[in-house]
């Protein structure tokens, strides 16, 4: 096999879709090791943000995911952006494939851009601090506190069943308390958002893992609400608040590049 046949062909890596007419460049920050120029290909006022790239399947490794996200975050400084699924590549080495995609899906892109205009995604993860929340459970639940007090000076080997029972009661109470806190927090934040996506929790200590679609004009009020919740519950919860993300949780843009 010749060396020439081993070199992947060139295509166009697609990061996202924006509303823009005319040429535009975002700098040499393309995915991969080459740092290709990221630029726009425009069709009738809608632009695909792309860079040159070998036609390969990029592994979902941290370095690649971050490179993809950095481009979208740079674009977001100036435009509403529809994020395109990671590792979407047009198999044309010129603009023709991208122009066909823009023409074919023009109405879908136009509708989504209109829907997302003037909005951003904000992420919030809230974790219970184990020592503090367990203490609050013991204080709140009389049955757990009383049973614990009875066993505290008794030998461990004689009270195995009772201690297991306390463990089960605490686990059940923790589940109930985290669900209650989650609902209280969502009752405050959901009315300030256009949409909310509740993602799966990681571990029993996670109270909330959510994304909020927020109008830009509502962001200051949302920030205040999150800060007030942090002040209220911060003694036994950790708030991780991530601002201004592309709307990954609200736009699932899968572009079929095969046969185009």
Does 37 map to a domain?
yes
Whether residues 148 and 191 fall in one domain? yes
- Give the whole-angstrom CA distance, residue 178 versus residue 194: 24
Our CA angle for 245, 251, 253, nearest 5°, is 120
Does 137 map to a domain?
yes
Number of folded domains that form the chain: 2
- Token pair of 163, please? 């201690």
Whether residues 105 and 149 fall in one domain? no
Taking residues 223-246, what's their average pLDDT?
Answer: 93
Does 259 map to a domain?
no
Does 260 map to a domain?
no
Residue that finishes a domain, picked among 79, 96, 117: 117
Q: Are 72 and 81 in contact (CB under 8 A)?
A: yes
DSSP 215-233: EGGGHHHHHHHHHHHHHHH
Residue 172 belongs to domain with CATH number: 3.30.70
Render pLDDT for 12-53 as a digit per residue (tens, 0 to 9): 999 999 999 999 999 999 999 999 999 999 999 999 999 999
Render pLDDT for 100-151 as a digit per residue (tens, 0 to 9): 999 999 999 999 999 999 999 999 999 998 888 888 888 888 888 787 777 7
- Token pair of 37, please? 């120029």
User: SS3 of 209, please?
Assistant: strand
Burial of 229 (0-12, 13-18, 19+ CB in 10 A): buried
Does 258 map to a domain?
no
The pLDDT assigned to 58 comes to 96
Taking residues 64-69, what's their average pLDDT?
Answer: 96
Residue that finishes a domain, picked among 90, 117, 144: 117
Give the whole-number percent of the chain exceeding pLDDT 90: 72
Task: Please state whether 53 falls in left (phi above 0), alpha (psi between -120 and 50) or beta.
Answer: beta
- Give the whole-angstrom CA distance, residue 51 versus residue 72: 12
- Token pair of 144, please? 């757990």
The pLDDT assigned to 237 comes to 94
> Running DSSP on this structure, what letter comes out for residue 173?
H
Whether residues 174 and 136 fall in one domain? yes
Residue that finishes a domain, picked among 117, 150, 171: 117
User: SS3 of 50, please?
Assistant: strand
- H/E element, 93: none
Whether residues 109 and 11 fall in one domain? yes
Whether residues 141 and 79 fall in one domain? no
Query: 212 phi and psi, to 5 degrees?
Result: -120, 130
Whether residues 34 and 71 fall in one domain? yes
Whether residues 219 and 207 fall in one domain? yes
Render pLDDT for 186-227 as a digit per residue (tens, 0 to 9): 999 999 999 999 999 888 889 999 999 999 999 999 999 999
The pLDDT assigned to 144 comes to 81
Does 77 map to a domain?
yes
Whether residues 126 and 107 fall in one domain? no
DSSP 113-158: HHHHTTEEEEEEEEEE-HHHHHHHHHHH-HHHHHHHHHHTTS-GGG
pTM of the model: 0.83
The pLDDT assigned to 155 comes to 67
User: Whole domain around residue 188: which residue ranges?
Assistant: 120-245
Whether residues 179 and 103 fall in one domain? no
Whether residues 136 and 233 fall in one domain? yes
- Give the whole-angstrom CA distance, residue 99 versus residue 87: 18
Whether residues 223 and 191 fall in one domain? yes
Distance of CA 251 to the CA centre of its chain: 11
Whether residues 130 and 218 fall in one domain? yes
- Token pair of 194, please? 């256009």
The pLDDT assigned to 161 comes to 74
The pLDDT assigned to 5 comes to 53
């Amino acid at each position: 096999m010749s060396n020439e046949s081993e070199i992947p062909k060139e295509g166009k890596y697609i990061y996202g879709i924006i509303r823009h007419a005319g040429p535009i460049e975002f700098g040499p920050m393309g995915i991969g090791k080459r740092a290709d120029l990221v630029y726009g290909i425009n069709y009738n006022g809608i632009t695909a943000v792309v860079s040159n790239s070998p036609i390969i399947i990029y592994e979902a490794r941290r370095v690649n995911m971050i490179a993809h996200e950095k481009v979208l975050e740079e674009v977001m400084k100036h435009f509403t952006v529809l994020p395109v699924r990671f590792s979407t590549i047009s198999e044309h080495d010129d603009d023709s494939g991208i122009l066909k995609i823009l023409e074919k899906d023009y109405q879908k892109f136009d509708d989504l851009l209109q829907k997302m205009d003037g909005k951003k995604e904000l992420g919030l993860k809230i974790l219970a601090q184990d020592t503090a929340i367990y203490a609050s459970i013991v204080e709140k639940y009389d049955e757990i506190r009383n049973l614990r007090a009875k066993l505290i000076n008794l030998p461990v080997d004689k009270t195995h069943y009772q201690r297991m029972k306390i463990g089960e009661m605490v686990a059940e109470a923790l589940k109930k308390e985290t669900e209650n806190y989650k609902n209280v927090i969502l009752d405050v934040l959901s009315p300030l958002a256009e949409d909310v996506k509740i993602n799966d929790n990681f571990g029993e200590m996670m109270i909330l893992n959510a994304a909020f679609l927020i109008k830009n004009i509502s962001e200051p009020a949302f920030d205040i609400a999150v800060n007030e919740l942090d002040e209220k519950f911060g003694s036994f919860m950790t708030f991780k608040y991530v601002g201004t993300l592309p709307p990954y949780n609200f736009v699932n843009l899968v572009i079929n590049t095969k046969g185009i």
